[in-house]
């Protein structure tokens, strides 16, 4: 009885299991999978074969289930049911497994995609954060660049001082300011006296250093009034001092003291490399007040005119001038003169006078060619008036070549004379900028060759300004000129940069003592001492000396007693045309013959 109970329980359990499996196959996710029907049928056949097994083992149930009568039949039925069930199951699973694989693969791919997506999101977040940071940096950089551009637009890149635009802004604001109506202000227009020379001769790098030092010195000034310091370009600086004083006379006194302070600050020597430079300044000053409602461009122009006056009127470096109305016409004259010099060269209005150079025995051994200008509407103009303007206008080199060419052309008759050629030298003045041109020696050679002179005792007179350049380069150039048979004189010695040490280091043939030491040599012990020193050094070096500007017999005697044997000056002959000099020379030749 218990056996029957167990079989029933077993059959119920088997049925339940089958039903559960069947229901599982009906689940929406499973029922559409391929092979599910075969699996269901397979399980059904296995269940059925298990029932056959139960009835085999428990014959009491045989009458309840129609089944084979013998054990063999039952076995065959069971075996057939089981085999068919397993076949269905295996075919069902064979059909379903790919779907499961696909599902698993899909899930794995999904997982991988999810991970990749997470990584992408993470990377993108980092990128976005980085882009955001870069954007912030870029915005800061842009703001910085904008600030720099604004600064550059209003400041000079070399000295960092405010520039012309900043000056105009400052002046316009100042003029329109209602607070300063009753007070005088001053505009200083500064220009370095020797800057062009320094820049041309020593190079732009050294010139820039001079400008930087000048800017620092101007910034270091302890001017008490409101001020603006700027650089307009080149060697032009500007100072504006506002609200100085309501009383014009008192204000002018204060401005004068300030100008002296500025000049004194810039007058100190500048030591750069082996050079000791002087970058003194000249100043043009324009006083103004807001009340006068002046235009900024007029203020600048008038201060500039006053500067030209400061530089030109006395030729004293380091001066200053206040603008006044008369200066306008002077300025116009200078501009006109510069244009006329250019025309005069084209129209050959320049000509040469010659001044004899004489030895103590009265023999003329040289002629210095001196340029004159036969101006069409004025009297003859001397070089003191037009040379500075020619230098400013950049015409001095052209003028130099003109003189050299004409002097050789005019004197070629002398050089062809065998007797005269050995006795006579022709001296030509050469400007520093012309002498320092790279091809200067070639220029001289070409001009000399163009005349095919058999004997040519040419002497070039250069001033001390040349000596601020590299001594070795000057020395080499002088040697090249010596090879051409050209002598070199150091002109106006004692007035410029040089010291006697330069005379020792450079191969000068002649030193010309400046007339300023000769004028009072009989009465001024300082001048006499300087001349003594020059004569002592040149005698030891074997360099000849010419005293310039000798006008009296006393001066000549004084110089002769001290060993100076060569002279030039009105005592021996004023500058004159070559034809007049020829007569003197012929006499001398006849006398000496
Ligand atoms: Mg001279």
Residue 136 counted as domain residue: no
Q: Which domain holds residue 475?
A: 334-592
Domain CATH number, residue 583: 3.20.20.450
Q: Which of 304, 324, 344 is the last residue of a domain?
A: 324
Structural domain contains residue 401: yes
Together in a domain, 317 and 219: yes
From 273, 292, 324, give the residue that closes a domain: 324
Confidence at residue 387, expressed as pLDDT on a 0 to 100 scale: 84
The per-residue pLDDT for 58 is 61
Q: Whose CA is closest to 468, among 291, 297, 290, 269?
A: 269
pLDDT at 303: 92
Q: How far is the CA of 435 from the centre of ligand 1 (A)?
A: 14
Helix H or strand E encompassing 229: strand 226-233
The alpha carbon torsion through 171, 173, 176, 178 (nearest 10 deg) reads -120
Q: In the chain, what is the greatest distance between 2 CA atoms, to the nearest angstrom?
A: 183
- For residue 566, the CA-to-ligand 1 centroid distance in Å is 14
C-alpha separations of 249 from 65, 239, 254, 258 in Å? 146, 20, 9, 14
Same domain? For 420 and 543 the reply is yes
Are residue 14 and residue 95 in the same domain, yes or no?
A: yes
And the tokens for 578? 């070559």
CA pair distance 29, 67, nearest whole angstrom: 37
Examine residue 148 and state whether it is found in any structural domain, yes or no.
no
One domain for residues 406 and 534: yes
Tell me: do 75 and 194 sit in the same domain. no
Q: Are residues 320 and 342 in the same domain?
A: no
Q: Ligand 1 centre and the CA of 489: distance in Å?
A: 8
User: What pLDDT is attached to residue 546?
Assistant: 96
How far is ligand 1, taken at its centre, from the CA of residue 204, in Å? 29
Q: Are residues 210 and 308 in the same domain?
A: yes
Please indicate, yes or no, if residue 202 is contained in any of the structural domains.
yes
Give average pLDDT by consecutive 10-residue segment, the chain, 593 residues. 73 82 81 84 83 65 62 78 89 85 87 92 93 92 87 86 90 77 87 79 84 92 77 91 88 91 88 80 89 82 87 63 85 84 91 93 90 89 85 82 90 72 85 83 90 79 77 88 93 71 85 92 88 89 93 94 93 88 59 37
Interval between CA 400 and ligand 1 midpoint (Å) = 13
Ligand 1: distance of its center to the CA of 447 in Å?
20
- 167 alpha carbon to ligand 1 midpoint, in Å? 43
Q: How far is the CA of 316 from the centre of ligand 1 (A)?
A: 20
Say yes or no: 91 and 240 in one domain.
no
CA nearest to 360, candidates 534, 550, 489, 145: 550
- Residue 587 is predicted with a pLDDT of 44
**pTM of the full predicted structure?**
0.55
CA of 151 to the centre of ligand 1 (A): 49
The domain that contains 279 carries what CATH number?
A: 3.30.70.270
136 phi and psi, to 5 degrees? Answer: -65, -45
**Are both 173 and 300 inside the same structural domain?**
yes
User: 340 alpha carbon to ligand 1 midpoint, in Å?
Assistant: 24
Does 240 map to a domain?
yes
Task: State the distance from the centre of ligand 1 to the C-alpha of 429, rounded, in angstroms.
Answer: 5
Work out the angle at residue 405's Cα, subtended by the Cα atoms of residues 491 and 432, and round it to the nearest 5 degrees: 35
Domain count, the chain: 3
Is residue 221, in this structure, part of any structural domain at all?
yes
Residue 586 within a domain: yes
Rounded distance from Cα 401 to ligand 1 centre (Å) = 15
* Ligand 1 centroid to residue 492 C-alpha, Å: 7
Residues 288, 437 within the same domain? no
Residues 314 and 364 placed together within one structural domain of the fold: no
523 and 469 in a single domain? The answer is yes
Instruction: Give the closest residue to 194 by CA, choosing from 500, 497, 513.
Output: 497
pLDDT at 64: 58
8 found inside a domain: yes
Q: How far is the CA of 430 from the centre of ligand 1 (A)?
A: 8
């Amino acid at each position: 009885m218990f056996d029957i109970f167990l079989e029933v329980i077993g059959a119920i359990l088997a049925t339940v299991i089958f039903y559960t499996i069947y229901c599982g196959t009906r689940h929406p996710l499973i029922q559409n999978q391929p092979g599910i029907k075969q699996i269901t049928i397979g399980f059904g056949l296995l269940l059925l074969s298990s029932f056959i097994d139960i009835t085999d083992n428990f014959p009491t149930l045989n009458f309840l289930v129609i089944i084979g009568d013998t054990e063999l039949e039952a076995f065959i039925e069971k075996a057939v049911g089981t085999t068919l069930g397993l076949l269905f199951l295996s075919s069902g699973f064979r059909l379903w497994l790919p779907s499961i694989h696909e599902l698993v693969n899909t899930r794995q791919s999904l997982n991988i995609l999810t991970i990749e997506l997470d990584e992408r999101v993470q990377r993108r977040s980092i990128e976005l954060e980085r882009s955001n940071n870069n954007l912030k940096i870029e915005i800061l950089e842009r703001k910085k660049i904008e600030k720099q551009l604004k600064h550059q637009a209003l400041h000079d890149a070399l000295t960092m001082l405010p520039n012309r635009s900043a000056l105009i802004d400052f002046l316009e604001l100042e003029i329109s300011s209602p607070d300063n109506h009753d007070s005088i202000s001053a505009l200083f227009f500064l220009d370095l006296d020797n800057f062009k020379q320094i820049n041309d001769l020593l190079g732009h790098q050294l010139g820039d250093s001079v400008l930087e030092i000048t800017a620092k010195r101007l910034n270091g000034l302890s001017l008490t009034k409101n001020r603006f310091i700027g650089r307009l370009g080149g060697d032009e600086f500007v100072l504006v001092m506002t609200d100085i004083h309501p009383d014009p006379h008192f204000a002018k006194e204060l401005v004068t003291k300030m100008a002296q302070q500025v000049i004194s600050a810039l007058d100190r020597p500048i030591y750069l490399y082996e050079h000791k430079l002087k970058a003194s300044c000249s100043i043009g000053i324009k006083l103004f007040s807001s009340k006068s409602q002046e235009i900024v461009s007029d203020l600048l122009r008038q201060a500039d005119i006053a500067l030209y006056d400061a530089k030109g009127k006395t030729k004293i470096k380091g001066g200053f001038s206040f603008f006044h109305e008369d200066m306008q016409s002077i300025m116009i004259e200078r501009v006109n003169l510069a244009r006329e010099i250019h025309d005069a060269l084209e129209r050959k209005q320049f000509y040469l006078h010659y001044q004899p150079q004489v030895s103590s025995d009265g023999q003329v051994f040289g002629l210095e060619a001196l340029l004159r200008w036969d101006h069409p509407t004025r009297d003859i103009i001397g070089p003191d008036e037009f040379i500075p303007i020619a230098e400013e206008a950049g015409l001095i080199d052209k003028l130099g070549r003109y003189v050299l060419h004409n002097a050789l052309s005019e004197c070629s008759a002398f050089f062809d004379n065998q007797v005269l050629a050995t006795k006579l030298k022709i001296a030509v003045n050469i400007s520093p900028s012309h002498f320092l041109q790279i091809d200067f020696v070639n220029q001289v050679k070409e001009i000399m060759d163009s005349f095919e002179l058999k004997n040519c005792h040419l002497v070039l007179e250069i001033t001390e300004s040349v000596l601020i350049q590299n001594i070795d380069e000057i020395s080499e150039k002088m040697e090249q000129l010596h090879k051409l048979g050209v002598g070199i004189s150091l002109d106006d010695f004692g007035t410029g940069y040089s010291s006697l040490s330069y005379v020792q280091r450079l191969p000068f043939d002649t030193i010309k003592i400046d007339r300023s030491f000769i004028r009072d040599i009989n009465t001024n012990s300082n001048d006499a001492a300087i001349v003594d020193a020059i004569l002592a050094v040149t005698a030891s070096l074997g360099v000849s000396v010419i005293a310039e500007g000798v006008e009296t017999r006393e001066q000549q005697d004084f110089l002769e007693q001290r060993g100076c044997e060569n002279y030039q000056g009105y005592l021996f002959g004023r500058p004159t045309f070559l034809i007049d000099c020829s007569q003197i020379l012929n006499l001398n030749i006849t006398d000496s013959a």
